[in-house]
Amino acid sequence: MSKSSPVSTVGEPVQAEITQTGGQAIVDALIANGITRGFCVPGESYSGILQAIDKAKNDFDLVVCRHEGGAAFMAQAYGRLTGIPGLCMVTRSPGACNALIGVSTAAQESTPMILIIGHVTSGTAGRFPFQEMDPKSLFGSVAKWVGVVERAADIPHLIGRALSISTSGRPGPVVLAVPDDVQFTDIRAGQVSPVKRPVMEPAVKSVAKVAELLSTSKKPLALLGGTGWSQAACNNFAKFASAWDLPVGTTFRRNDLIDFGHSSYIGSFGPGPHPNLVAQAKECDLLLLIGARLGEIETSGYTHLCEADEDRTLIHAAALADEFGEMLQPDLAIVTDVAPFSAALAELPVVAGLAYAGQRQALRNSLLAYNKPVDFGDKLNPANAVQALQEVLPEKTIICGGAGNYTHFILRHHQFRTQGTLLAPLSGPMGYSVPAGISAAIQYPEQEVVAYVGDGCFFMNPQELVIAAKRNLRLVVVMFNNGIYGSIKMHQELAVSGMSVAVSLDNPDFQLLVQAMGLKSSQVSKAEDVASAYTILRAETDGPIFIELLTDPEVINPQSTLAQIRANKRK
């Protein structure tokens, strides 16, 4: 990885200085920080880094993708699953532009991620070099930090800075552009020190204040969200919620932060949320927001929880003080990581005679009734497929979702039991499920991974399935095929009855397509048959499988048909 060169001064013996290339310095620093996997589409502009990876191939897993968007999604999923920055490497301009979607997803998800771009040769920027682009202009609005290497000697410092920024406070993506020539330039080899993120613990007085405010509350609600959670942290919070008989919900696409079976759980926000969860949020006199942020989804389009209310107290615990007041100014702001805060809450002695005791049970019963699939008569409800498949899947199966109305059925009807089993970004990007599922299956080869897709969402990144086939990954792709862009169709109907513009899809034979890529597959037309198809295919192979369910475009979401939406508009 390094070499020696003679160094001497007058009157002194020649000493050997250990050197390494800039590319080797980058790879050494990544490995020293636990980043031993990267996702890429190769490019000549970062050949020096690729050469260094090849020399370290016994310690580094390079996942070669077919599209930079897929590679970036895989890196984001890796960061979300592990808490270690997910690494994506792309070439300049076209490759960097394609990877932007993954960086944007990581920013909204608060996921640690590093995008390394092979940059134009030193000294040529601004002279119209081949595939030039300005990384700071392109990524400045979505990345936490964008760095450009000016000198090879700066690489160790800049890599350390990138890792520190990516993991500090509320984690996020960083971008580092490395000119092609500096990757081959020799620099002095130095000691690589792993970057350590300091743990932020809550003040003792703040935790005591939480107990005091809860003891006088008449209608509280806890909302969990954000990142940084572990199963231990979730267990600690669940213990606290049980002891204090506290109603608990989760923010958008954070369903896995509390066991669906927990007696305190009353639902998750999303399109078409549990109505009584919304009512509790509107009417609560104490809102305990932990790790979460309130956005358009949680506030139903900014119609509630957006203005100060003298009858409501807000406790906001977050890792980044800048988020306080983003939507509402908290009455008690606690800068803390979620893990130590949950541990502290779990140790709080319970106050007797809580005024709100027992409220949770009615809310819980209401959720269980709401979770039952709607009977659409002779029309297939995909919710039945979700429930039937869950019955035969291992409990810790990782579920992936991208964008489209198919995700509504999953988020409402799959009963998440374990932290870290939901990969569904807040930004709702199409094409996320398959790359995320591949990343999860590589990281946890013994776990089952299910990537739910719609026929529209699937076609954004189907090419990455060749990785699943080549690596024989334990991945299940379940497609709900209704022949339309369902989410767009629904919103068009909500705007203008009967509107249907640019929503019909001309689909290929998906069975032939995935079989050509090496997957076992099955097509079914009954919701319950998805479970039996899974059982049969999984008995045939430990590798990737594909199940296609033909669904009715009329059943547009878990609650309504298109006809019902039209009828409601006429009222």
The token duo for 412 is 């409402």
Residue that terminates a domain, selected from 312, 340, 369 = 369
For helices 338-346 and 204-216, give the axis angle rounded to 10 degrees.
Answer: 60
pLDDT band at 124 (very low <50, low <70, confident <90, very high): confident
Whether 219 and 171 map to the same domain: the answer is no
| Residues 138, 139, 141, 147, CA torsion sign | negative
Residue 10: what pLDDT? 56
The confidence score (pLDDT) of residue 5 equals 53
Same domain, 306 and 178: no
- Interval 259-287: pLDDT, tens: 999 999 999 999 889 999 999 999 999 99
| Helix, strand or coil, per DSSP, at residue 545 | strand
Find out whether 441 and 474 touch, Cβ atoms under 8 Å. Answer: yes
Q: Are residues 58 and 169 in the same domain?
A: yes
What pTM was computed for the model?
0.95
Residue 199 included in any domain: no
End-to-end CA separation in angstroms for the chain: 73
224, β-bridge pairs: 250, 290
* Of 535, 558, 556, 559, nearest in space to 545 by CA: 535
196 in a domain, yes or no?
no
475-481 sheet: strands from edge to edge: 422-423, 398-400, 449-454, 475-481, 545-550, 520-524
Contact 160, 174 (CB under 8 A): no
Residue range 382-415, pLDDT digits in tens: 999 999 999 999 999 999 999 999 999 999 999 9
Do both 181 and 235 map to the same domain? no
Residue type, 119: H
Kindly state the tokens that stand for 319.
């890792």
Query: In this model, does residue 491 exceed pLDDT 60?
Result: yes
- Which of 413, 401, 384, 404 minimizes the C-alpha distance to 525? 384
Percent of all residues in the chain with a pLDDT value above 70, rounded to a whole number: 97
Task: Answer yes or no: do 235 and 282 share one domain.
Answer: yes
Same domain, 65 and 159: yes
Query: How sure is the predictor about 490, in pLDDT bands with cuts at 50, 70 and 90?
Result: very high
- Nearest-5° Cα angle at 469, 466 to 474: 125
Is residue 35 within 8 A of residue 42, CB to CB? The reply is no
Interhelix angle 68-82/94-109, rounded to 10 degrees, is: 30
Q: Are residues 348 and 424 in the same domain?
A: no
pLDDT tens per residue across span 283-310: 999 999 999 999 999 999 999 899 999 9
Residue 297 belongs to domain spanning: 204-369
Same-domain pairing of 277 and 409: no
Which one, of 448, 453, 423, 48, lies nearest residue 464 by Cα? Answer: 453
We report the CATH number of the domain holding residue 469 as 3.40.50.970
Binned at pLDDT 50, 70 and 90, residue 319 comes out as: very high
Domain's final residue, options 127, 160, 188: 188
In this structure, the answer to whether residues 389 and 524 fall within a common structural domain is yes
Cα 103 to Cα 113: distance, rounded to the nearest angstrom:
8
Confidence at residue 132, expressed as pLDDT on a 0 to 100 scale: 87
Q: How far apart are CA 77 and CA 73, in angstroms?
A: 6
What digits encode the pLDDT tens for the residues 101-114? 999 999 999 999 99
Residue 262 lies in a domain: yes
Residue pLDDT, tens place only, 173-212: 999 999 999 999 999 988 778 888 889 999 999 999 999 9
**In degrees, to the nearest 5, what angle opens at C-alpha 440 toward C-alphas 172 and 195?**
40
> Residue 198 domain-assigned?
no
Task: Measure the CA–CA gap between 216 and 244, rounded to whole angstroms.
Answer: 12
The secondary structure of residue 188, as a DSSP letter, is E
Tell me what pLDDT residue 1 has.
47
Domain total of the chain: 3
Q: In this structure, is residue 146 part of a structural domain?
A: yes
CATH number at residue 349: 3.40.50.1220
**Spatial distance between the Cα atoms of 536 and 554, rounded to a whole number of angstroms:** 29
Whether 115 is covered by a domain: the verdict is yes
Residues 381 and 320 in one domain: no
Alpha helices, H only, 377-470: 382-392, 406-413, 433-443, 455-458, 465-470
Considering the domain architecture, whether residues 334 and 406 belong to the same structural domain is answered as no
Residues belonging to the chain = 571
> What is the model's pLDDT at position 177?
97
Write the pLDDT tens digit of every residue in 420-446.
999 999 999 999 999 999 999 999 999
pLDDT of residue 568: 87
- Domain end point (choices 155, 188, 221): 188
In this predicted model, what pLDDT tens digit does every residue of 528-567 receive, in sequence order? 999 999 999 999 999 999 999 999 999 999 999 999 999 9
Report the alpha-carbon angle 100-105-109, nearest 5.
150
- pLDDT at position 9: 55
Q: In the chain, helix, strand, coil percent, each to 5?
A: 40, 20, 45
Residues 519 and 399 in one domain: yes
pLDDT single digits (tens) 29-45: 999 999 999 999 999 99
Percent of the chain predicted with pLDDT > 90 = 90
